[in-house]
Amino acid sequence: MSSGIAIVGMACRYPGARTPAELWENVLARRRAFRRMPPERLRLEDYPDSGPDGLYSTEAAVLEDWEFDRVRFKVAGGTFRTADLAHWLALDVASQALAEAGFADAEGLPRDAFGVLLGNSLTGEFSRANLMRQRWPYVRRVLASSLKSEGWEEGRIAGFLAGLEAEYKAPFPPTSEESLAGGLSNTIAGRICNHFDLHGGGFTVDGACASSLLAVAQACSALAAGDLDVALAGGVDLSLDPFELVGFARTGALTRGEMRVYDARSSGFIPGEGCGFVLLVREEDAARLGCRVHAVLRGWGISSDGSGGISRPEAEGQKLALRRAYRRAGFGIGSVGYFEGHGTGTAVGDATELRALSEALREAGAEGVRPVGSVKALFGHTKAAAGVAGLLKATLALGHQVLPPNAGCDEPHPELAREGSPLRVLEQGEAWPADRPLRAAASAMGFGGINVHVVLEGAAATRRRSLAPRERALLASAQDAELILLAGDDLETRVERLLETAPRISRSELTDLAAALHERLVPGAHRRAAIVASTPKELAERLELLLGWLKDGVESRIDPKHGLFLGTGSQPRRIGFLFPGQGSPSHLAGGALRRRFEDLAGLYEIAGLSPDADPVDTAIAQPAILTHSLAGLAVLDRLGIRAAVAAGHSLGEIAALAWAGVYPEETAVHLAAARGRAMADLPSPTGAMASLGASPEAVEVLLAGTAVVIAGLNSPKRTVVSGPAVEIDMVAARAADLGYEVHRLRVSHAFHSPLVANAAPA
């Protein structure tokens, strides 16, 4: 194995991640930084989807609370205001990378052989906006012509335009001797060299969305060849403006909804922004300089797709980059334990990348399955700064010896789901397997058909055996929804104030908001409200509904469909538990409860159910539902929520008896399993069930002439029926013709009907 390139310094600024340490915690906790595009950055109403220049995507991941300390960096006010903010963000993060490595202001490093390679494509949106100042003559001519055609006199036109010119130009800095340099991409790298007095060469690399990883690969080549002794490599991207966003929208690359990565429903990305840098030296020089080594770059490969599409990736081109990287590394792709992919979340991009990696692993005869993920699932596609973000995540995974989970993948891509796939997506992080080398890889691809792949090796002298408590807590913290609690006699005012905040927060900040509001609850308040919400948008919509209730004078109401509760009274209410029967979600592996509360694993092990089992099979569903009820009961007890009374419907009767202490948990699970087997062993026909949105009196009319019976009265206007499958279809059709809501239940038998009576003896 040849000598590698050591990563001795790291720094970043991405949405929700001010440092690599915060980035890593966000990875473990799956904190997603997506929010509605702030109007300060782009007014969405100016770009309606209906027009040719429209924008259908509404979310972005944006930096917040970042300020450039121009006094510290000795930057004059005029220079600061003239240059694009991408210059200052890159300079700031580059400085942090040097300091993190122990070389603040580059002191102690050979400046003559110190180069800066920066990935960037379009400088930043601020340069493009400032160009509007120079376009005033064109705007003036168009307006003058239009006003003249409307009958305005020359003098009136001149006066109007003279006043408009000042207003038009006001947002943009006056053109100065700094304007040209401050608006160029290459001078970002030059500015870093200028500030730290570096003489090895500073330039910008443009490989579109592969730019920053391409800069890293080029820096490695320069170091290996002896052209440089030290290199700062990374990328910066601040380009959330119409040029990029409308352009991506026209190609269909942006998602209209959720950003899913390596998912069967991947439909595009949410745009992001940020900056990241790594400080690189040769491995032997790192030892001589006394540097802490985060990881070692062993191989890097670059390729193009050739005659493939300009904006459509090709698997063969990516495989060429892979082969070049592992040839340089001196070991095979099969020894890599984790792949940090490009992962844009587009249907074509995800499929192509997964196919290329899978084929390369199969061709190498790699055994076992290794995880693949993408940091884009947390803060979107940061374009020119995306590749280095993935490199940082892979480096951190090696340093902590943890296989990281991946957000945004609920239904793994067909390429991952097929039998014998060498790749998987981790929903939950894991300790790095002791029998697998500390090796990871990162990929990037960009418009023009360019591909980059880099291979890393961990620098740890010893191997960890387990996850730390902090890591386990972070890994268990991800939730599908948050509970927003409000209390106080000024409830309407609180809701109105929250409505101003909710539309602007990110998804991860929804969690922070829920925690903060819980801490600020007013003890003993007469008026109380609770909202369950999965996104800031959903929270805002439900706050609007709650506010409507309050303005209408509603005192108490529960709306389960919209996750809303409003109540009064300072005294605690009596609590009752209702345990569900079959037809409820089975959650064979435990779902979110088991992920959040690892001590529930033992309960699920009692049931001994395979995650691949058929959740509709009654022999599987009954012990699974019963186990999940007991798990929910355990969590409620931990939270101090205890009932005075409990009831169970059907299968739920066993859970209620367990709550009452009649059965221990293990006996209850075994009883449910025996009950399920008894019903599963019934001969055909097994029948079917349906839920009808009608009163029992109305349903009785629908059942005339059939063997279908009413199996349950769920509410005054919700009736469950059970019987032979053909006749259930007949009743369902009658109900639908009369406008009643109809739902077929996902059950294997006609429970609570004569068709299951023969199970009673067993």
What is the rounded CA–CA span in Å between residue 507 and residue 30? 10
Residue type for 534, please?
S
Indicate if the pLDDT at residue 509 is higher than 80.
yes
Name the token pair of 459.
């620098």
* C-alpha 345, offset from chain centre: 10
Residue 598's pLDDT band, with cuts at 50, 70 and 90, is: confident
Poorest-pLDDT segment among 108-112, 115-119, 715-719: 715-719
DSSP label at 269? B
Mean pLDDT of 545-556: 96
650 is catalytic: yes
DSSP label at 446? E
Indicate if the pLDDT at residue 135 is higher than 70.
yes
What is the rounded CA–CA span in Å between residue 53 and residue 242? 9
What is the rounded CA–CA span in Å between residue 192 and residue 199? 11
Beta bridge partners of 204: 118
Of 524, 467, 529, nearest to 498 by C-alpha is: 529
- Residue range 602-657, pLDDT digits in tens: 898 888 888 878 888 888 999 999 999 999 999 999 988 999 999 999 999 999 99
Residue 50's pLDDT band, with cuts at 50, 70 and 90, is: confident
Name the token pair of 200.
């090895």
Residue 2's pLDDT band, with cuts at 50, 70 and 90, is: low
Say if residue 664 is preceded by a cis peptide, omega within 30 of 0: no
- Mean pLDDT (the chain, rounded): 94
Burial degree of 101 (CB within 10 A; 0-12, 13-18, 19+): buried
Give the H or E element holding residue 673: helix 665-680
- For residues 562 and 545, the answer to whether their CB atoms sit within 8 Å is yes
- For residues 343 and 259, the answer to whether their CB atoms sit within 8 Å is no
Residue 517 Cα distances to 36, 65, 300, 509, 751, angstroms: 22, 22, 48, 12, 44
Of 133, 288, 121, 94, nearest to 208 by C-alpha is: 121
Indicate if the pLDDT at residue 685 is higher than 80.
no
Residue 595's pLDDT band, with cuts at 50, 70 and 90, is: confident
pLDDT of residue 355: 97
Q: Which of 212, 443, 752, 753 is catalytic?
A: 752
Neighbours of 647 (CB within 10 A): 14
- Tell me the pairing of strands 557-559 and 527-533: unpaired
Tell the residue number behind the tokens 């927060």, with chain if given.
505
- Residue range 168-179, pLDDT digits in tens: 999 999 999 889
Residue 18's pLDDT band, with cuts at 50, 70 and 90, is: very high
pLDDT of residue 121: 93
What is the rounded CA–CA span in Å between residue 69 and residue 74? 9
Whole-angstrom distance between the N-terminal and C-terminal Cα of the chain?
A: 67
What is the rounded CA–CA span in Å between residue 185 and residue 191? 10
**Computed from CA positions of residues 627, 628, 629, 633, in that sequence, does the dihedral angle turn out positive or negative?**
positive
What is the rounded CA–CA span in Å between residue 762 and residue 618? 15
Mean pLDDT of 527-534: 96
Indicate if the pLDDT at residue 570 is higher than 80.
no
- Residue range 85-94, pLDDT digits in tens: 999 999 999 9
What is the rounded CA–CA span in Å between residue 593 and residue 479? 9
Residue 551's pLDDT band, with cuts at 50, 70 and 90, is: very high
What is the rounded CA–CA span in Å between residue 107 and residue 105? 5
What is the rounded CA–CA span in Å between residue 273 and residue 61? 7
- For residues 112 and 23, the answer to whether their CB atoms sit within 8 Å is no
pLDDT of residue 1: 58
Residue 599's pLDDT band, with cuts at 50, 70 and 90, is: confident
Neighbours of 284 (CB within 10 A): 11
Indicate if the pLDDT at residue 456 is higher than 80.
yes
Of 726, 731, 721, nearest to 751 by C-alpha is: 721
Per DSSP, the residues of 451-469 read: EEEEEEEE--SS---S--H
Name the token pair of 139.
């705007």
Give the H or E element holding residue 224: helix 211-225
pLDDT of residue 368: 93
- Tell me the pairing of strands 274-282 and 295-304: unpaired
What is the rounded CA–CA span in Å between residue 342 and residue 333? 17
Q: Which of 303, 508, 650, 753 is catalytic?
A: 650
- Residue range 392-411, pLDDT digits in tens: 999 999 999 999 999 999 99
Of 397, 318, 312, nearest to 358 by C-alpha is: 318
pLDDT of residue 611: 80
Neighbours of 66 (CB within 10 A): 14
DSSP label at 529? E
Mean pLDDT of 675-701: 91
Indicate if the pLDDT at residue 508 is higher than 80.
yes
Indicate if the pLDDT at residue 69 is higher than 90.
yes
pLDDT of residue 613: 85
pLDDT of residue 144: 95
The residue that leads in pLDDT, 115 or 3, is: 115
Of 339, 347, 346, nearest to 394 by C-alpha is: 339
**Computed from CA positions of residues 495, 498, 503, 508, in that sequence, does the dihedral angle turn out positive or negative?**
negative
Residue 207's pLDDT band, with cuts at 50, 70 and 90, is: very high
Question: Side-chain half-sphere of 497: how many Cα atoms within 13 Å?
Answer: 8
- For residues 33 and 506, the answer to whether their CB atoms sit within 8 Å is yes
Residue 52's pLDDT band, with cuts at 50, 70 and 90, is: confident
Q: What percent of the chain has pLDDT over 70?
A: 99
pLDDT of residue 64: 93
pLDDT of residue 526: 86
Residue 714's pLDDT band, with cuts at 50, 70 and 90, is: confident
pLDDT of residue 426: 95
**Computed from CA positions of residues 217, 223, 228, 231, in that sequence, does the dihedral angle turn out positive or negative?**
positive
What is the rounded CA–CA span in Å between residue 723 and residue 388? 60
What is the rounded CA–CA span in Å between residue 443 and residue 318? 9
- Residue range 315-349, pLDDT digits in tens: 999 999 999 999 999 999 999 999 999 999 999 99
347-363 and 315-329 helices, crossing angle to 10°: 40
Indicate if the pLDDT at residue 63 is higher than 80.
yes
Of 89, 121, 83, nearest to 15 by C-alpha is: 89
Question: Side-chain half-sphere of 151: how many Cα atoms within 13 Å?
Answer: 0
